[in-house]
Structure 1
């Protein structure tokens, strides 16, 4: 098994077996010599954009306040400790996307985004817990992390942040640039900046079953087929007019029990749901798109790659991209599987691509889902 410096020189299989969802792991120099991918100015400019999710957490006399972005202006250094958090940086910057992709030893169905936080001395968001796995990579300066496996996860009521009311630290670490801390879900933690610092958070999706169930029933609404209309030819006089008749309940129960969900139904739902772009993700196609012939000629020479914002998945004969799905034959599937896994295709892989694949690639190029390399 290949040992990964990113995981402290253990293999991905060992990490998933011994730590994932189970216990923290402190990794000194997970990425030796790591330096911030973006300057504070670049991060601030990103936080000013409407489509970028950002937050500003300030502390005055120990009291926390939170402002949602866009963040037009940041506080001064003498305004007390503050933290700016910018979500989905991987959707805006290719270097951030490349960093996030180092964690693809976990399926893309679970990998969520890269968040960057900048904090002034003493800044943080208070002791809290996350409902998902997270890697906390120190990019600049130092941050002191205090963590706890405590079961008491009660939060203080009435605050804009979910801050634990009874946090009791069990371990403490100071992270330097390149150091990384993994925390499983529900693990209490509190990070405080020592001087100005930047921390990169690699987060994972963890949807609730309720969320998935509601979305699945919505998805299935268009495919349910129950012909006929309720009828009661054997109706007898009602003794109690307001009471729902037993025969009516039995008839409806029998009809609704005819609704069956297959594994293929669930596969298609999951692929479309998990590849659906977030509400703040927008695609922009090329201002002057090439003709299809020109596009295919250049693609065969240079290759193509998925947009930073595109998510492509597959299962069996089904391929999913940005919330859409389609079934493909074996030969086409082999090509598209490579695109999904590598997020790119070299020109040689496109030489024998079918007309259907070429049509799809060109449509995705026009929509901004895919780009020429």
Structure 2
């Protein structure tokens, strides 16, 4: 189990989305959740997203995975990055859980990288919050200030920026933590072979929100109210201010309608950018088999990366992997347990299993691979 030191947690809360922060020994006695060869194995998974960044004479290029032979890259100047390792490695998911003092809907993924000396991805700016945890090895990290940063010439496909003046310049050792809010340029340089862990947190853009709202309106056959007016402009070529404001009001009324906005947000924010490592059961379990297994001491474990969200004020809806489920009344506490806890034991599941509708839906999720049976340790 991974946990941040209490003073590190307090410092992060004061810096969150405001300014970068370096915390030495944020994780005491840090142990890597996986080894470099295990990371290389995850990169070969069919649903994994990976790439290698090669740096030569101040130039960077990317080679997409999967990659089986790393010997051709030599012993320096390259870095393997694997996205969403928390989907594949339970210990990596436990490391990501150390950051659940932030809302689940913000969490994106845990990216793990292995870098040879001199390896790195180059100076760049992210549009999301990231916590970088140093594993085995040592890396030097530099962070610059917000501001206009010019794109780096010759790297149009990698979104690199020109060199910057550092406001943080540190050599990180195992267990050290670096927090970088959106918009701050940063660059890592590997000093000895190293593992690093990047825990990313995203928020939706205006484009994503409007696009999802349009999809929801179409799916539910809503939003058909049309603009009407009681006056027209004297000049036929003009769109009057009154007409502009009236159409803006139509849009704002949709956004203000919690019956439309809430389910749209739940659907959008429970989606994953990276594919889950689902293992559907074949043959599927029956309800009696599931109940028997739980009664015999097994528990349900949530698959890595699955987002299971609730809307405040809505006790019956559950948003799961981009889908909305409406469960029976009277199960508010059980639904909260399902969304909040990654490990579910039989007493917590009894209310859901006692209701035919919720029992059928729980069984469906288990057979689809969203939860899986595991022995208690």
Partner of 1:334: 333
Query: Which segment is superposed worse, 40-49 or 75-84?
Result: 75-84
The answer to whether the 8 A contact 2:327-2:357 is kept is no
* Aligned match for 2:174, one of 161, 171, 177: 177
Instruction: Measure the CA separation in 2 of the matches of 1:272 and 1:368.
Output: 19
The C-alpha deviation readout for 1:129-167, integer Å capped at 9, x for no partner, is: 211111110101000011111413221143132221142
Secondary structure of residue in 2 paired with 1:128: coil
Partner of 1:49: 45
* Aligned match for 2:87, one of 85, 91, 101: 91
The C-alpha deviation readout for 1:33-53, integer Å capped at 9, x for no partner, is: 223222221111211233111
Secondary structure of residue in 1 paired with 2:166: coil
Secondary structure of residue in 2 paired with 1:170: strand
Partner of 1:368: 369
Partner of 1:237: none
Partner of 2:207: 210
Query: After superposition, where does 1:74-223 map in structure 2 within 5 Å?
Result: 74-76=70-72, 78=74, 80-159=76-155, 160-221=157-218, 222-223=220-221
* Aligned match for 2:269, one of 253, 274, 277: 274
Query: After superposition, where does 1:315-326 map in structure 2 within 5 Å?
Result: 315=311, 316-317=314-315, 318-326=317-325
CA spacing shift, 1:332–1:34, aligned 2, 3 Å: same
Secondary structure of residue in 1 paired with 2:334: helix
Secondary structure of residue in 2 paired with 1:140: coil
The C-alpha deviation readout for 1:23-79, integer Å capped at 9, x for no partner, is: 222211112222322222111121123311111100122221111112232244636
Unmatched segments (≥5 aa) in structure 1: 229-242
Query: Which segment is superposed worse, 322-331 or 357-366?
Result: 322-331
TM-superposed deviation, 1:257: 4.2
The alignment status of 1:59 with 2:59, answered yes or no, reads no
CA spacing shift, 1:340–1:55, aligned 2, 3 Å: same
The answer to whether the 8 A contact 1:131-1:206 is kept is no
Unmatched segments (≥5 aa) in structure 2: 227-235
TM-superposed deviation, 1:106: 0.3
The answer to whether the 8 A contact 1:300-1:346 is kept is no
Pairwise CA RMSD of aligned residues? Answer: 2.9
CA spacing shift, 1:151–1:335, aligned 2, 3 Å: same
TM-superposed deviation, 1:280: 3.1
CA spacing shift, 1:75–1:60, aligned 2, 3 Å: farther
The alignment status of 1:10 with 2:7, answered yes or no, reads yes
CA spacing shift, 1:41–1:320, aligned 2, 3 Å: same
Query: Which segment is superposed worse, 54-63 or 70-79?
Result: 70-79
The answer to whether the 8 A contact 2:276-2:304 is kept is no
The answer to whether the 8 A contact 2:266-2:310 is kept is yes
The answer to whether the 8 A contact 1:299-1:350 is kept is no
Q: List, as ranges, runs of 4+ consecutive aligned residues in structure 1 with deviation greater than 6 Å.
A: 243-246
Query: Which segment is superposed worse, 330-339 or 176-185?
Result: 330-339
The C-alpha deviation readout for 1:103-151, integer Å capped at 9, x for no partner, is: 0000000011111111111111111121111111010100001111141
Query: After superposition, where does 1:208-287 map in structure 2 within 5 Å?
Result: 208-221=205-218, 222-224=220-222, 226=224, 257=250, 260-261=254-255, 262-278=257-273, 280-281=275-276, 283-287=278-282
Secondary structure of residue in 1 paired with 2:28: coil
Query: Which segment is superposed worse, 277-286 or 35-44?
Result: 277-286
TM-score (norm 1): 0.86
